[in-house]
Amino acid sequence: MSFPSLETERLRLRPWQPEDVELFARLYADPEVTRYLGDGSTLDREQTWRAVAMAIGHWHLRGYGQWVAVEKQSGAAIGRVGLYNPEGWPGLEVGWLIDPAFQRRGYASEGARAALRHAFEVVGADHVISLIRPANAPSLRVAEKLGGRLERTIDLKGDVSVYGYDAPPA
């Protein structure tokens, strides 16, 4: 199966590659990066390898998933953005994680906007969600920039705000 790439003005969203484990091992080992992910725990290199393998497997099982975000200007991989919906998840999610060295530049919004478009136009979704810890103010701002609305709060290893996006009218 080949995974599509997406292009935005400043980003290339590309399939995962073996060397991506290096970037994500660094990111997932940082407690500031992981504090709002899952239960907030950091990951070691082996756990990161499994997380990358799961991201690749998600594409095989669902036909969509998360991409590695690459800054076009520098060619640097700067994080991940895309779609996520594992077994038992509360819905098709658009999510993002950007390396702190590249945050506050609008990359999360830019990449997530492209992923949402892919969800609606290619995957055929009519509703997409983002799951965000209430204390994660930067991600709450991204969801609002994307037009998300707070739908409810759920318990998913702690309180999580569910922001929803509806497909644009045809």
Does any domain span residue 133?
A: no
pLDDT at 136 (0 to 100): 97
pLDDT at 2 (0 to 100): 77
Alpha helix (H) residue ranges in the chain:
20-28, 31-34, 45-62, 107-118, 137-145
pLDDT digits (tens, 9 = 90+) for 17-45: 999 999 999 999 999 999 999 999 999 99
- Amino acid letter for position 108: A
Q: To the nearest whole number, what is the mean pLDDT of the chain?
A: 96
Does any domain span residue 163?
A: no
Overall domain count for the chain: 1
| 134, 153 contact by CB (below 8 A) | yes
Res. 169 pLDDT band, cuts 50 70 90: confident
pLDDT at 1 (0 to 100): 64
pLDDT digits (tens, 9 = 90+) for 100-122: 999 999 999 999 999 999 999 99
pLDDT digits (tens, 9 = 90+) for 140-152: 999 999 999 999 9
Residues with Cβ within 8 Å of 103's Cβ and at least 6 positions away in sequence, in order, are: 138
pLDDT at 157 (0 to 100): 87
Q: What is the mean pLDDT of residues 7-11?
A: 98
User: Residue 14: which domain range?
Assistant: 6-126
pLDDT digits (tens, 9 = 90+) for 46-84: 999 999 999 999 999 999 999 999 999 999 999 999 999
What's the CATH number where 40 sits?
A: 3.40.630.30
Task: Identify the bridge partners of residue 96 per DSSP, sorted by sequence position.
Answer: 81
Angle between helix 45-62 and 20-28 (nearest 10): 120
Does any domain span residue 169?
A: no
Does any domain span residue 139?
A: no
